[in-house]
Structure 1
Amino acid sequence: MKSCCSVSRGSIENEVQVDTIENKLSSFSKKDMVLIQGGEFMMGTNDTEGFPADGEGPIRKVKINSFYIDKYAVTNEQFMQFVKETNYITEAEQFGWSFVFHLFCSKETLKNNPQRVAAVPWWVAVKGAFWKHPEGPGSSIEDLLNHPVIHISWNDAKAFCKWSGKRLPSEAEWEYAARGGLEQKKYPWGDELIVNGKHQCNIWQGEFPIKNTKRDGYIGTCPVDAFHPNGYGLYNVAGNVWEWCEDWFSPDYHKSESIENPTGPTKGTNKSLRGGSYLCHKSYCNRYRVAARSSNTPDSSTGNMGFRCVADI
């Protein structure tokens, strides 16, 4: 995948064995969740701006059962509470490092962390970077409690879901909810990226990956309730952070899969991601479109990957 937004932990060798951690279940709360009524929708896109190799198309009719979904991505404050109650240690902490975008690294950090991925050199493997210290040692989330938690692997997201009594959405559920009741529109709000001169989401402006003009107001993550919600009341389903889904990723499995509550293949190497992030830019990775897809290995973490939860009725 040609993507500014997806880089895998396997790109850099690491011999750490990630242990399975048991987590406490708490009661399921509907606070800040939206009930999505089941129905049919046209999933995917044949848009020429899309990436056929990602499996965005063809457009197909899909049926979805009713479910609840979080209005917002999981925040630093929520994840902090989870860690406080469970003593959970994320995979970024266990491995001892995570990927940080180069513009967020000081000269000293860059000097002390020389490892890069050749294909995407703007990602720096920073020792000591994890959700609580998103740019490495010395950084803090003190002023970012209402921002989405980042440096979260798929396995970490699953642990949080287990604790909260929720689960991760299927790709089909995610797209159904993200479309907000609109049919085959490019974005959750319509077909125009900027509406009446106003930015609708947190993505990159300027020259990627060198200069972000911050015209939408943000250079990194934004608060989870920033910008306007879609028609179902969901915030930031385009841009801000990539959101993990339950499905194993496949570029073609959906072409033969059932149209009723599809859940993807039964096995794979990468898990699906949806929604794009603050690093997406039309010149390189316009995956902030609602039908766009990406993926990563379940143990990978970066400074632009988070998640939101769903729950069964």
Structure 2
Amino acid sequence: MVSLNWPLWVRSVLAVGVCAAAFAGAMICVSATEVTKKQERKAEIGSCAAYSGLPLGDGETAGMSFVPAGTFAMGSDQHQPEERFTHIVRVDGFWIDRHEVTNAQFKKFIDATGYVTLAERPVDPKSHPDWPRELLVPGSIMFVPPKDAKGEDGRWWQYVAGANWRQPGGPASSIVGKENHPVVHIAYDDALAYAKWLGRSLPTEAQWEFAARGGRDGEDDWSSAFDPEGKPIANTWQGIFPVLNTNDDGFAETAPVGCFPPNGYGLYDMIGNVWEWTSDWYRSGHSKAAATNPIGPERVSLRIAQGQTASRVIKGGSYLCSMNYCSRYRPAARQPQENDLSAAHLGFRTVLNRPNP
């Protein structure tokens, strides 16, 4: 039984669980109220859908916001083990993209440089003699909905030949009409190449988390993804992953950048939409010691096992994060991502380490 004393988002998830059970029996559970909410949400989306994907202006800070220097409590002691421990961090002021790098922006980079992303390059079989043949062709990782209603086949993530930033849904897809969506299927070196082309960098984890908090401090909570009434204010998965997405936020996959409210620094989609690369090497947990402008551990200190791929920290969660799976849509949340792996729910934004004139 669903208690009326529980928060709205908890009641919503539990109610969706009932619907998911009905779904398994080929039944549909959608209330009139849910339909009305979706119609209202569609009306809210109109303005962001018209954005070209290219920021106005051509200065070095075009499309960026300045985040003033400050001190904050980084990490969390109340959620996932890898987020511990909370510690005091100070960061200098910096510029950061107001939204995730879009397909239009990345295309401009490709047209100017001829750069070829990792997902578009064939793999040398001599360098990976043990890999199956299907992994030696250009491609990337995609979410493929399970064939059974219970989601028990376990093959949610699949390597799809021909999937890349130009064809984010696989060989038959394109970015036409999605110029203002975040670019995806971007490996770490791809993101770094784009940033260097603009004379910028990828954010450190500390910069990213400080910016994502939008001026708020204190223990991490869910308010970056849901308002006090439980309404989605970020592009995440509403329902039971991976079998049922109610799409209460209006999007089943990536959303055009800027379709959800900005945070206190005027930054869009720091939570949800797509995961974002940071420059820090990943290790589980944080030191308890206070730090100024930390850049993460050195790779040599990680003692990476032979044959194991090094990983960077990614932040923010994505449209595939739900309450029952992932649930990493908080500023302190973090996960590792292999440097040479790209995916349909992974993008990035850049920073410029310059003072505000």
1:281 positional shift: 0.7
User: Is the contact between residue 185 and residue 191 of structure 1 (CA under 8 Å) also seen in structure 2?
Assistant: no
Task: Kindly indicate whether residue 346 of structure 2 is the aligned counterpart of residue 312 of structure 1.
Answer: no
Partner in structure 1 of residue 339 of structure 2: 298
Alignment RMSD: 2.1
What do residues 139-189 of structure 1 show as CA deviations (whole Å, max 9, x unaligned)?
01111110100000011000000111110000000000100011125358x
- The letter for the 2-side match of 1:250 is R
- 1:186-220 CA deviation, whole Å, 9 max, x = no partner? 358x4772344532100001221122111110000
**Structural mapping, 1:199-214, within 5 Å:** 199-214=232-247
Asked if the contact 1:151/1:304 (under 8 Å) is kept, the reply is yes
Which residue of 2 is the match for residue 67 of structure 1? 94
- Name the structure 2 match of 1:51: 80
Runs of 4+ displaced beyond 4 Å: none
- The structure with the largest strand share of the pair is 1
Residue number in structure 2 paired with 1:259? 291
Higher share of residues assigned helix:
2
Aligned to 2:65: 34
Larger of the two Rg values belongs to structure: 2
Amino acid at match of 1:176: F
Provide the secondary structure at the position in 2 that maps to 1:198: coil
- Structure 1 residue 58 displacement after superposition: 1.5
d(CA) in 1 for partners of 2:224, 2:61: 31
CA-CA distance at 1:257 after TM superposition: 5.9
Amino acid at match of 2:172: G
What secondary structure does 2:336 align onto? Answer: strand
Q: In the alignment, is the contact (CA less than 8 A) between 1:257 and 1:264 conserved in 2?
A: no
Q: What amino acid maps onto 1:126 in structure 2? A: V
Kindly state the Cα deviation for residue 250 of structure 1 after the two structures are TM-superposed.
0.9
The answer as to whether partners of 1:71 and 1:233 remain within 8 angstroms in 2 is yes
Contact 1:28 1:164 in 2 (8 A): no
Q: Whole-Å Cα distance in 1 between the matches of residues 75 and 313 of structure 2? A: 14
Distance 1:271 1:191 in 2: 23
Instruction: Identify which range, 34-43 or 257-266, moves more after superposition.
Output: 257-266
Q: Distance in 2 between matches of 1:312 and 1:166?
A: 8
Q: Distance in 1 between matches of 2:336 and 2:103?
A: 22
Q: TM-score, normalised by structure 1?
A: 0.81
State which of 129, 133, 138 in structure 1 corresponds to 2:167.
133
1:86 CA displacement: 0.5
Q: Is residue 179–residue 187 contact of structure 1 (8 Å, CA) maintained in 2?
A: no
* 1:217 correspondence with 2:243: no
Name 2:140's counterpart in structure 1: 98
Residues paired across the two proteins, number: 269
